[in-house]
Amino acid sequence: MQLYSTFLLVAILCTIHTCVYSHLIGTGKADITGPVAEIHLFGYAEMDQIANGILQRCYARAYIVVDDDSMPDGSNNDQLTGNRIVFVNVDLQSMSLTVKARVIQRLQLMFGPDMYSMQNVMISSTHTHSNTGGYLEHFLYEIPVKGWLEETVQAVVSGIVNSIVKAHYHLEKGHVTFNTHELLDTNINRSPSAYSANPPEERAQYTHNVDKDMTLLGFHTDDRDLGLINWFAVHGVSVNKTNRLVNGDNKGYASYSVEKNKKFTNTTVSTSSDIFVAAFAQSNEGDVSPHTLGFFCTGTDQPCDGTKSSKCPWRSTCQGRGPGWKVGHLDSNRVIGENQAAKAIALYLESKGKPQHTLSGPIDYKQVYWNVPETKIVQPDGSIHALCKPAMGLSFIAGTTDAEPGIGVYQETTHMPWYWRLIRIFIKTPTPTQALCHAPKPIIFDTGEMNVPHAWQPHILDLQLLRLGDVYIAGVPAEFTTMSGRRLRKAIKRTLVKHGGDPSSIRVILSGPANGYSSYVATYEEYQVQRFEGAATIYGPHTLEGYIQVFQALATSMVTHAPITLPNTIIQPPPNTASSQAPLTTHFDPLKMTMAGRRLYFDLTPRRGTDHPIFSFGFGDVIQDVSEQEYHPSTHDVVVISVTFVAGNPRHNPKADGSFLTVEQKQNDGGWKTIRNDHDYDTRFRWNLKSKLFGQSEAIVEWEISNQTERK
Ligand SMILES: *[C@@H]1O[C@H](CO)[C@@H](O)[C@H](O)[C@H]1NC(C)=O
Ligand SMILES: *[C@@H]1O[C@H](CO)[C@@H](O)[C@H](O)[C@H]1NC(C)=O
Ligand SMILES: *[C@@H]1O[C@H](CO)[C@@H](O)[C@H](O)[C@H]1NC(C)=O
């Protein structure tokens, strides 16, 4: 009877209201595009991949969810006391602890010490390889971009803060939905020989050797669409290393595609914070490629896998082919992006307003700083697996089959040739303990034992678990391989179920690289094969076991509310209250560690000089106008219209949330309407330095038109 009346009550409420649980939700998006010229793009570590313009802008997309029952009538957002979590997705190769700490520092200046902290804000990256670098504080990652680049860092920090501030001031009652479905033809495994080393009974639990599921959170109010976040594991390398225009790769394209979709665009609303915010977040993409057609030696149709036995002919290297490779890499990027965009829209619309998809339950978070090399894992038989100080294996410099550098080193190298031993003497020969700890990895960069000019790779990581009802988001500062991600998610779920969670409703999502960067995580079995991902698993063969141990502790602590107890490995974050007067030295301070602790602060990128117009011209003068030719759709497939202007260096002003170009269309009333800017995929802004001595440069603005381009 009791049960029956409860059911009746719910049924009545459902008819009055839509019968879906509500939270307070805010979404916001802001530009993080930094210098688009003279600075290295970061991801491929290609020394001549230096930015010279924009293909698409890069953004931070922020989502705040607050426990709703905390909002008394008439209170304002700043007085809310309920738990809140913040998830930010950024169009970057990865994230750093320093950037996160600076974001939090600025938020705390604005909103006080209790609202936003290292514990409840997660910053995750899309892993694009086409945005500028310089925001990672460890030396190994500074080498390919020539340092710590404040120009990039400040654009990124400001953009992330702006996105969160917008979300903060737009909190309103709304619903969060969950949905998941398979997306095919969009990713493949680039290291299948390592994947196959995992136990057969484990592999038998899965149909594919990469995760095909896209997982989505949708955000809407009773009458408006607010945004979505989805996770799908696929590397951001559709745009290849010959590109020099800043862009967000396939996930950046997918966001662009959804956000300009007419279903979600309300043209009567012009403030950017009211737009639909669509984040395409990254998951366990370590061994996952967008090159769905496979890997071939350039100039041939010979398949390759990056090993010595499949070595490419002289002057040819192993490279991936995306679905549009015959047209070009930007077409592959569009297809991989569009596949994700279409799936995300379908998942969003299917779940919107449906009680069975709507999340309810507590909002919660847990975060720790993990001292990785101190970690020991006690096995059931009493033996101990120890994690190591960081180091990179020789196969790391072999690169991947997505983009092989072709320097005569091959993947799956477990034995160090004598000449590399010789070369290594000039870098650092690892201590015997370190070499043994990492075996069978032949160490090329003994990063954990090198501190000149400062630490080469991190020893301390920020691990974080967010909870939104039955959905748990694990933020990892690394690129997990497919099986590593599966094992971690399973382990977290197992722990939650052990503490009374319902196995049929608990969902665990892996998000990253988030909150920092420490290269890859492969399983123990994959590590033995020493493909690129195994060689770049920096804390040795038991790295994944270490992560599992800490995340199980985080999950346990979240549900039991007991403190985390893992001797020596967990450095408790500073208590997040204004009244805390503990001296800074007794707790771990990421800002201090990463900035003040640096022995040498360097930036070897070219200085910005004063701009001068090209002789006999003024700034903004047209050097070469569009050709006076009419476009006939029947005779032309694609035509590129271009204009060259006398310009200054775009590094002087990245035009955040603005544009370096617009395309305007004449209206019937004689006025002009802007129909394109530099974020559009069919426009390009290119910059050329004409004379370094005189500081003269030009900007080339391009618009690609085809029979698909809209007419009046
Ligand atoms: C667009 O936004 C305005 C202002 O919020 C609202 O009045 C209008 O109904 C919206 N239109 C659509 C189609 O959502
Ligand atoms: C990169 O893409 C361009 C355009 O599709 C192509 O011409 C070039 O060969 C590609 N380079 C590599 C290294 O894949
Ligand atoms: C547009 O051009 C493509 C070839 O580039 C052609 O396949 C297509 O039929 C054309 N569409 C129209 C509407 O003319």
**What pLDDT is stored for residue 163 in this prediction?**
97
**What pLDDT is stored for residue 566 in this prediction?**
86
- Strands 520-521 and 507-511: what pairing? unpaired
Which two tokens mark 213? 């599921």
Amino acid at site 138: H
Distance CA 125, CA 128 (A): 8
Q: Of 337-346, 428-437, 625-634, which range is least confident?
A: 625-634
Residue 266 CA, closest ligand 1 atom number: 1
User: 491 falls in which pLDDT band (50, 70, 90)?
Assistant: very high
**Mean pLDDT score of the chain:** 90
The H or E element that residue 690 is part of is strand 683-691
Q: Of 350-359, 364-373, 602-611, which range is least confident?
A: 602-611
pLDDT tens for residues 16-37? 444 567 799 999 999 999 999 9
Say how many Å lie between the CA of residue 294 and the centre of ligand 2: 14
Section 8-16 average pLDDT = 43
pLDDT tens for residues 525-534? 999 999 999 9
- Strands 294-297 and 213-220: what pairing? unpaired
DSSP 197: T
Section 606-615 average pLDDT = 91
**What pLDDT is stored for residue 578 in this prediction?**
36
Section 344-368 average pLDDT = 95
Say how many Å lie between the CA of residue 268 and the centre of ligand 2: 41
DSSP 69-128: GG--TT--GGG--S-EEEEEEESSS---HHHHHHHHHHHHHHH-TTTS-TTTEEEEE--B
Domain boundary assignment for the chain: 2-371+459-584, 622-647+659-705
What percent of the residues of the chain are helix, what percent strand, and what percent coil, each to the nearest 5?
A: 30, 25, 45
**What pLDDT is stored for residue 76 in this prediction?**
58
The H or E element that residue 511 is part of is strand 507-511
**What pLDDT is stored for residue 696 in this prediction?**
97
Q: Of 399-408, 517-526, 569-578, which range is least confident?
A: 569-578
Distance CA 406, CA 399 (A): 8
Whether the model clears a pTM of 0.85, i.e. scores above it, the answer is yes
Best residue for ligand 3 mutational test, from 635, 707, 709, 711 (most atoms within 8 Å of Cβ): 707
Residue 182 and residue 213 in contact, taking contact as beta carbons nearer than 8 Å: yes
Nearest to residue 59, comparing CAs of 360, 280, 372? 280
User: 636 falls in which pLDDT band (50, 70, 90)?
Assistant: confident
- Nearest ligand (C-alpha, residue 49): 2
User: Is the previous residue joined to 513 through a cis bond, with omega within 30 degrees of 0?
Assistant: yes
Distance CA 327, CA 319 (A): 16
Which two tokens mark 122? 């997660």
Nearest to residue 411, comparing CAs of 273, 275, 287, 264? 287
Distance CA 419, CA 442 (A): 13
pLDDT above 90 for 659 = yes
Annotated binding site: 127, 235, 479, 520
**What pLDDT is stored for residue 75 in this prediction?**
54
- Ligand 1, atom 13, lies closest to the CA of 266
Say how many Å lie between the CA of residue 710 and the centre of ligand 3: 13
Q: Is 332 a catalytic residue?
A: no
**What pLDDT is stored for residue 223 in this prediction?**
86
Distance CA 183, CA 215 (A): 10
**What pLDDT is stored for residue 589 in this prediction?**
67
pLDDT above 80 for 281 = yes
Distance CA 492, CA 494 (A): 5
Dihedral sign (CA 291, 481, 32, 599): negative
Q: Of 368-377, 438-447, 570-579, 599-608, which range is least confident?
A: 570-579
3 state SS of 434? helix
pLDDT above 50 for 271 = no
Section 508-517 average pLDDT = 98
Q: At what angle do helices 482-498 and 543-560 cross, to 10 degrees?
A: 30
pLDDT above 80 for 209 = yes
Residue 275 and residue 163 in contact, taking contact as beta carbons nearer than 8 Å: no
- Is the CATH code 3.30.70.980 the one for domain 622-647+659-705? no
- Strand ranges across the sheet with 460-468: 507-511, 471-475, 460-468, 363-371, 570-571
User: 593 falls in which pLDDT band (50, 70, 90)?
Assistant: low
pLDDT tens for residues 466-477? 999 999 999 999
3 state SS of 703? strand
- Ligand 3, atom 7, lies closest to the CA of 637
630 lines ligand 3 (CB under 6 A): no
DSSP 466: E
Question: What are the C-alpha distances in Å from 638 to residues 11, 165, 177, 634, 709?
Answer: 57, 41, 41, 11, 10
Tally the residues of the chain: 712
**What pLDDT is stored for residue 599 in this prediction?**
46
Number of C-beta neighbours around residue 68 at 10 A: 17
CB-based contacts of 404, cutoff 8 Å, min separation 6: 304, 306, 312, 317, 318, 319, 398
Annotated binding site for Zn(2+): 127, 235, 479, 520
Q: Of 66-80, 115-129, 231-245, which range is least confident?
A: 66-80
Distance CA 631, CA 628 (A): 10
More confidently predicted of 596 and 458: 458
Residue 53 and residue 146 in contact, taking contact as beta carbons nearer than 8 Å: no
User: 548 falls in which pLDDT band (50, 70, 90)?
Assistant: very high
**What pLDDT is stored for residue 9 in this prediction?**
45
Residue 200 and residue 330 in contact, taking contact as beta carbons nearer than 8 Å: no
More confidently predicted of 69 and 62: 62
Best residue for ligand 1 mutational test, from 170, 224, 264, 268 (most atoms within 8 Å of Cβ): 268
User: 591 falls in which pLDDT band (50, 70, 90)?
Assistant: low
CB-based contacts of 280, cutoff 8 Å, min separation 6: 89, 126, 230, 232, 251, 252, 254, 255, 340, 341, 344
**What pLDDT is stored for residue 609 in this prediction?**
86
Residue 703 and residue 676 in contact, taking contact as beta carbons nearer than 8 Å: yes
Q: Of 153-162, 262-271, 449-458, which range is least confident?
A: 262-271
C-alpha neighbours within 13 Å on the C-beta side of residue 296? 12
DSSP 402-418: TB---SS--BS--S--H
- Strands 277-281 and 672-677: what pairing? unpaired
Q: Rounded to a whole number, what is the distance in angstroms from the first to the last CA of the chain?
A: 65
**What pLDDT is stored for residue 183 in this prediction?**
98
Section 483-488 average pLDDT = 98
The active-site residue out of 94, 289, 351, 518 is 289
Residue 53 and residue 247 in contact, taking contact as beta carbons nearer than 8 Å: no
3 state SS of 190? coil
User: 670 falls in which pLDDT band (50, 70, 90)?
Assistant: very high
**What pLDDT is stored for residue 594 in this prediction?**
56
The H or E element that residue 386 is part of is strand 384-386
**What pLDDT is stored for residue 68 in this prediction?**
73
401 lines ligand 2 (CB under 6 A): no
